[in-house]
Amino acid sequence: MRGHDRQGFGQRFIKSCYPAMEEVRLRLRWWQALDPPIYLISILPGAAVWLLTGVEGRRLAEVVAATLAVVLLQHAINVLNDVSDWRLGADLDKRNSWVRFHGETPRIASVHGFTSLVFGILLGLAVLIAAAKTWIALAAAPLVLLGYLYNSGSRPLSYTHFGEWVTGLCYGPGVFGCLWLLAAGRTVTVGVFGSIAFFALSVALLLSHQPPQIDTDRRAGKQSFAVRFGARRTYLGARLLFLLFLLSLGLALSGSAADATSRITYDVSAVIAGLLLVRLQPAPRRLLPAATAVILGALLAGAHGGFP
């Protein structure tokens, strides 16, 4: 950290007695710890459900509210993940950790995470009650529990061989599947392909994030895919899964009642995204914007398409 000693109209820098870690903590702002773009993975399933079903009015409001509940749940998992990594020795050099934001106090960060978890669950239940579809909670509850166990306990699921599978199940059948049921999606195959698509996208994002953390994850005993198989295979897996996302969502779109304009726009955008991915190294900052572009483009092109 640097201080400023003002003299006249000029400034001269003086050395700080604070260590470098204190510098990171003091400069961290809430929006840096939040990292807003990562929440697209929770928003995109809701946008895809809108594209595939064309829900309107009250039903659309319910889908939007349920998507907000998913965002709160993801935020809880992100915060609790930072707490677990801090306590277990992984990602100690992560600059935008919520633990750093809370003064390197894991207890306060845990309260933050659990508060978001409770609000997300309550909002989700309120939406299901208002929609008279409380039975969806029976399908959602085990997946919410998986999300919690992903970061809790002395051996979180994120530190085991099951971490990637849990992520895919939570965002595929969990998020997209439950939003699809809430929106009264009528074609089973469309729901299945949509769930596969977001299973693949969420795991692709996770894999593309892992290689830079191989050394710290290995020291912390984290059995991520990248730790087990290396960076090269991990990037290959991320590419293949992202292509599976594009293909599966395209199949879901072809089986829905979305208009021709939406389908053509999606197909062209998906081909471009796939070709770019072959040339570029996968990373969340590339995969998320590409996924957003293909879904948003199809929505805008067809005035949200879906069922009339």
Per-residue pLDDT of 209-221, as tens digits, reads: 999 989 888 888 8
**What pairs with residue 12 in β-bridges?**
5
Model confidence at 6, pLDDT cuts 50, 70, 90, reads: very low
Higher model confidence: residue 91 or residue 125? 125
Per-residue pLDDT of 70-102, as tens digits, reads: 999 999 988 988 888 888 776 666 777 888 888
Write down the pLDDT at residue 93. Answer: 65
Average pLDDT, the chain: 85
For residues 237-246, average pLDDT: 96
For residues 230-238, average pLDDT: 95
Nearest to 112 by CA among 123, 125, 101: 101
Question: In angstroms, what CA-CA distances link 125 with 71, 149, 150, 183, 260?
Answer: 14, 20, 21, 15, 36
Per-residue pLDDT of 175-207, as tens digits, reads: 999 999 999 767 788 999 999 999 999 999 999
Beta strands in the chain (DSSP E): 3-7, 10-14
Neighbours of 168 (CB within 10 A): 22
With a CB cutoff of 8 Å and minimum separation 6, the contacts of 236 are: none
**What pairs with residue 10 in β-bridges?**
7
Write down the pLDDT at residue 304. Answer: 45
Write down the pLDDT at residue 118. Answer: 95
With a CB cutoff of 8 Å and minimum separation 6, the contacts of 72 are: 116, 117, 119, 120, 123
Rounded Cα–Cα distance for residues 131 and 9 (Å):
64
Question: In angstroms, what CA-CA distances link 232 with 40, 202, 273, 274, 282?
Answer: 26, 19, 21, 19, 11
Write down the pLDDT at residue 113. Answer: 92
For residues 142-159, average pLDDT: 83
Write down the pLDDT at residue 275. Answer: 92
